[in-house]
Amino acid sequence: MFRRRLSLPSAPRESFFLWGPRQTGKTSLLRSTYPEARRVDLLETDTFSRYASQPHLLRQELDAAPQGFVVIDEIQKVPALLDEVHWLIENRGVAFGLCGSSARKVRRGHANLLGGRAIRYELFGLVSAELGERFELRRALNHGLLPRHYLADDPRPLVRSYVADYLKEEIAAEGLVRSLPIFADFLRIAALGDTEPVNYSNIARECGISSPAVKAYFGILEDTLLGRFLPAHVRRQKRRVVRAAKFYFADVGVVNELARRGSLEPGSELYGKALENWVYHELSAHRAYSGRWYDLAYWRLAGGTEVDFVVDNVDVAIEVKATRRVASQHLKGLAEIAVDHPAVKRRILVCLEPTARRTEGGIDILPAEEFARRLWAGEVVD
């Protein structure tokens, strides 16, 4: 249905992992890219039971009917299969596409993830370049960018089910936490702080647990790909800066459900937070799909002046403001970062103004859709 921007090798000679949050379309992408591949779907109960109790069957079956390429879906459900995968790569030259939504259980038993024998790819929710003319900013910020959710007339039942299934299948079934209700409370509080620097002590106090437990819970969100940290840029600073990392959920629709936001409309503070989450989503997907893997961070002075995203060593600075009329106060962070980092090549304010323009100070004012277009055209990050 969508032509994804992640480019997988058409005739893979090397094995690879394809990670991504639940329902991003990993299985669909693998099916469309490799329609002739042998498939092992560990979501099927009988398949799971067979390989969970006897992982050596994979080796025996492939010895009986050799395959050039094999796709294993939801590999984290039977990590012991990686021993057989490892052996088959080394001794039979079989290439595998290993798909999953959580590396946590895999790492628990196979810390090296095949010892570097498999390439890593990551699939994100839909990006603007994949949606093309079907991209609508307000819809993206309210529905989220998981394919089924974005396309739904009313995504709320789907998102509610997504969160419930995540708690049941990723958290409870794997025994990742002792108390599911406490973890559910943590999820809600973490969602309320989406796009903000993380204060472990405050969250621990609200949840009634320890700060180390909160850190462990954030680790679970990272490992299950429900979100990721954005570090603070702290190198070569002339003034004191904030050092705490921010946390961003992988899908703004999930944030909306967890934080009980309701409908988001331009002009509200929550719309601005959702817009910032979306910009981070686009940047994260672009750095992965383009193969650039440039560093992303944020910059904030101790006094509160901030730039939402900086690329590499402040080569590009990007601020996000959900305003239809940019004023001087909206440009303060971008002006200040040039004082500490005069070599910054490009400064961009992403906003809701209808037309792109450039200020006399050299800051590009870009409508959100225009920013996305330039990003995927290679005009934002060189």
DSSP letter for each residue of 109-159: H-TTTGGG-EEEEE--S--HHHHGGG--HHHHHHH-SSHHHHH-SS-HHHH
What is the strand order of the sheet 316-320 is part of?
296-300, 306-311, 316-320, 346-351, 363-367, 357-358
Residues 179 and 253 in one domain: yes
State how far the Cα of 300 lies from the Cα of 307, in Å rounded to an integer.
6
CATH number, residue 91: 3.40.50.300
DSSP 171: I
Q: Could you tell me if residue 317 is inside a domain?
A: yes
State how far the Cα of 167 lies from the Cα of 362, in Å rounded to an integer.
47
Q: Could you tell me if residue 63 is inside a domain?
A: yes
Q: Could you tell me if residue 6 is inside a domain?
A: no
Q: Could you tell me if residue 7 is inside a domain?
A: no
Look at the chain and report how many structural domains it folds into: 2
Residues 278 and 352 in one domain: yes
Residues 27 and 150 in one domain: no
Q: How far is CA 373 from the centre of its chain?
A: 20
Q: What is the pLDDT of residue 115?
A: 65
Q: What is the pLDDT of residue 106?
A: 66
Residues 238 and 358 in one domain: yes
Residues 227 and 208 in one domain: yes
Residues 107 and 250 in one domain: no
Q: Kindly compute the dihedral angle of the four CA atoms of residues 123, 127, 129, 130, in this order, to the nearest 10 degrees.
A: 60
Q: Compute and round to an integer the Cα radius of gyration of the chain.
A: 22
State how far the Cα of 7 lies from the Cα of 181, in Å rounded to an integer.
39
Tell me phi and psi for residue 369, to 5 degrees: -65, -35
Backbone torsion region of residue 203, taken as left when φ is above 0, otherwise alpha when ψ lies between -120 and 50, otherwise beta: alpha
Residues 157 and 80 in one domain: no
Q: What is the pLDDT of residue 111?
A: 44
Q: What is the mean pLDDT of each run of 10 residues along the chain (382 residues)?
A: 90 91 94 94 94 95 90 90 91 93 64 69 97 97 97 96 90 80 95 97 96 95 94 86 95 96 92 98 97 95 95 97 96 96 96 97 97 98 90
pTM as predicted = 0.94
Q: Could you tell me if residue 10 is inside a domain?
A: no
